[in-house]
Amino acid sequence: MTARLTVLAGPTAVGKGTVAAWIREHHPEVWLSVSATTRPARPGEIDGVHYRFLSGDEFARQVREGEMLEWAVVHGRASYGTPRGPVIEALAQGKLPLLEIDLQGARQVRASMPQARSVFLAPPSWDELVNRLVGRGTETAEERAVRLDTAKVEMAAQQEFDHVIVNDDIRRAAEELVSLMRSH
């Protein structure tokens, strides 16, 4: 049995990061890729654990030299990418590798590694996603409209994925994902 890469993507605010954090804490047998990013670390984030925090120049160099398996500018703000070497190594060692990335990145991985399994994390309903997106009340009406348009486009992408998991409950969704990863 050869190890298979799993890619988890989904619309903004669906809770991918929370599901990934749950898996990191409860499933040490899953190997979570540490992404590189040009955004600054948030309080509590550790370099090399949550992200590799890189300068714009260093990120560009790694892209140029083919060191990223995929990469994208997310929300027009910062670059994010998956370092290729550690993923290849994890696969070679028969680990269960998981990438939590955005939709653009998921498409790139599907193109370059067709054997990868792609999983779309979906909200329980459209209204639920809208609540999560606009619920904070910190955005202007215009910003909210842009985010909702983005979410619509992102939701339409779910047909491209091998599996859809509904994030009705973080623990349940995470367990469904881990059993899916173990199933081959």
Q: Tell me how crowded residue 103 is: count the other CB atoms within 10 A of its CB.
A: 20
* In contact, 67 and 83? CB cutoff 8 Å: yes
Rounded to a whole number of angstroms, the minimum distance from the CB of residue 31 to ligand 5GP is 14
Residues of this chain that interact with ligand 5GP (CB under 6 A) are: 16, 35, 39, 70, 72, 74, 80-82, 100-102, 104-105
Nearer to ligand 5GP, 153 or 184 (CB): 153
Rounded to a whole number of angstroms, the minimum distance from the CB of residue 10 to ligand 5GP is 8
Nearer to ligand 5GP, 100 or 176 (CB): 100
* In contact, 121 and 163? CB cutoff 8 Å: no
Q: Which residue is nearest to ligand 5GP (CB)?
A: 105
Nearer to ligand 5GP, 5 or 141 (CB): 5
Which residues on adjacent β-strands are paired with residue 31? 97
Q: What is the C-alpha to C-alpha distance for residues 61 and 58, in angstroms, rounded to an integer? A: 5
Q: Backbone dihedral region of 53: left (phi > 0), alpha (psi from -120 to 50 degrees) or beta?
A: beta
Q: What is the C-alpha to C-alpha distance for residues 35 and 150, in angstroms, rounded to an integer? A: 23
Rounded to a whole number of angstroms, the minimum distance from the CB of residue 1 to ligand 5GP is 26
Rounded to a whole number of angstroms, the minimum distance from the CB of residue 158 to ligand 5GP is 15
Rounded to a whole number of angstroms, the minimum distance from the CB of residue 146 to ligand 5GP is 16
Q: What is the C-alpha to C-alpha distance for residues 173 and 177, in angstroms, rounded to an integer? A: 6
Nearer to ligand 5GP, 1 or 46 (CB): 46
Nearer to ligand 5GP, 33 or 181 (CB): 33
Nearer to ligand 5GP, 104 or 130 (CB): 104
* In contact, 84 and 67? CB cutoff 8 Å: yes
Rounded to a whole number of angstroms, the minimum distance from the CB of residue 43 to ligand 5GP is 13
The closest of 33, 5, 3, 9 to 165, measured between CA atoms, is 9
